[in-house]
Amino acid sequence: MANTHVKEMQALKEHLGKHQLKLTRQRELILSAFLRQEHITAEAMYHQLAKSDPHLGLATIYRTLNLFCDAGLAQARHFGSQTKYDNVSHKGHHDHLICTGCEKIVEFENEEIERLQEEVATRNGFTIKTHRLELYGLCSRCRH
Amino acid sequence: MANTHVKEMQALKEHLGKHQLKLTRQRELILSAFLRQEHITAEAMYHQLAKSDPHLGLATIYRTLNLFCDAGLAQARHFGSQTKYDNVSHKGHHDHLICTGCEKIVEFENEEIERLQEEVATRNGFTIKTHRLELYGLCSRCRH
DNA sequence: TATCATTTTGAGACAGTTTATCAATTTCAA
DNA sequence: TTGAAATTGATAAACTGTCTCAAAATGATA
Ligand SMILES: [Mn+2]
Ligand SMILES: [Mn+2]
Ligand SMILES: [Zn+2]
Ligand SMILES: [Zn+2]
């Protein structure tokens, strides 16, 4: 655990430094736990961390995950009715395939789709800032 | 107003008939107002209708819009953090371009994107049931 | 048209999720 | 080491949407 997530920790420190924010025990702890997941809800992280740190407040989890979003390490994604924080520290933009049977989430990137999105936007006079593409269905296992 | 939205009214009646549901003054009123919009929140519809019918309850709005969804007249869409009911009575599947400046929503369809989505799904062993594609950005007016 | 079982409504309670408040604690620059 | 500023945890509050239930409306039937 000593030399894992060094890069992300560095990125966080950089963000903190730029915004007069402080590095706390909680922020370190939450970052470390967050980086072990791909997609997680604040509530799930709260329960997960409660085992080792029963006094960590839910509000702190929310505040910290939102801080990670500001720092570019995380991204809040609204899947169905849940808000999951997506670990984007080590990867670029991507979209999602979501199994409605088992909740499995597969990430994908498709240059061609992205290009066509730009085309659609341009045709309508828009400049895209962000987008969201989610495909909901059944994975091979759940189909049977 | 006498002969507008006759088809949609008919579709609603058909759904009601099939499910032992009743046609009420409120359902007629809400349908008529709903069909005048493209995308609207339950809350917005509530305030809009309150002017002419101050006793119409918010729960009734929600119940009725959800009924329209069941009847295939409406579709609930989660844009950002808002849930808007999309009037789909007279159109098929489509996706959205959303201006983050003025909230303008432009609908579009793109065969090619849809095809590529299927391709991505197949490649990952998924069978798509639904999908959501939203492009957020600035419209030409808001860019300046 | 009157009857009346069934459905619907409106008001507000309630639930789930996220943010705001604030006194106490922690951090870190000087 | 000190102390101003930031952060935390507990909990209140905000917000969105659903549930409850007594009263009212609907519509099939006589
Ligand atoms: Mn992801
Ligand atoms: Mn639409
Ligand atoms: Zn599955
Ligand atoms: Zn605009």
Please state the domain extents for chain A: 3-87, 95-143
Chain A residue numbers touching B124 (CB-CB < 8 A): 97, 106, 108, 139
Considering every ligand atom shown, identify the ligand nearest to the alpha carbon of residue B38 and give its number: 2
Has residue A1 got a pLDDT over 60?
Answer: no
Chunked into runs of 10 residues, chain B (144 residues) has average pLDDT values of 82 97 98 96 97 96 98 94 94 94 95 98 97 96 93
At residue A116 the predicted structure's pLDDT band, cuts being 50, 70 and 90, is very high
Residue B80 Cα to ligand 1 midpoint, Å, equals 17
Distance between CA atoms of residues A93 and B49, nearest Å: 42
Residue B4, pLDDT score: 83
Domain spanning B95-143: CATH 3.30.420.10: no
Which bases of strand C have any atom within 7 Å of the beta carbon of a protein residue? 6-13, 17-21, 26-28
Residue B80, pLDDT score: 84
Residue B2, pLDDT score: 47
**What's the pLDDT tens digit per position in A68-105?**
999 999 999 999 889 999 999 988 899 999 999 999 99
Predicted TM-score (pTM) of the model is 0.91
| Nearest residue of A to residue B114, measured between CA atoms | A113
**CA(A111)–C1'(C4) in Å?**
65
Residue B81, pLDDT score: 86
Sheet holding B74-79, edge to edge: B39-40, B82-87, B74-79
Overall fold of domain B3-87: Arc Repressor Mutant, subunit A (1.10.10)
Residue position matching structure tokens 């849940």: A82
Contact A116 B113 (CB under 8 A): yes
Residue A80, pLDDT score: 83
With vertex at residue A27, the alpha carbon angle to CA A22 and CA A28, rounded to the nearest 5 degrees, is 110
Burial of residue A140, with CB atoms counted within 10 A of its CB: 0-12 exposed, 13-18 middle, 19 or more buried: exposed
Q: Are B95 and A71 in contact (CB under 8 A)?
A: no
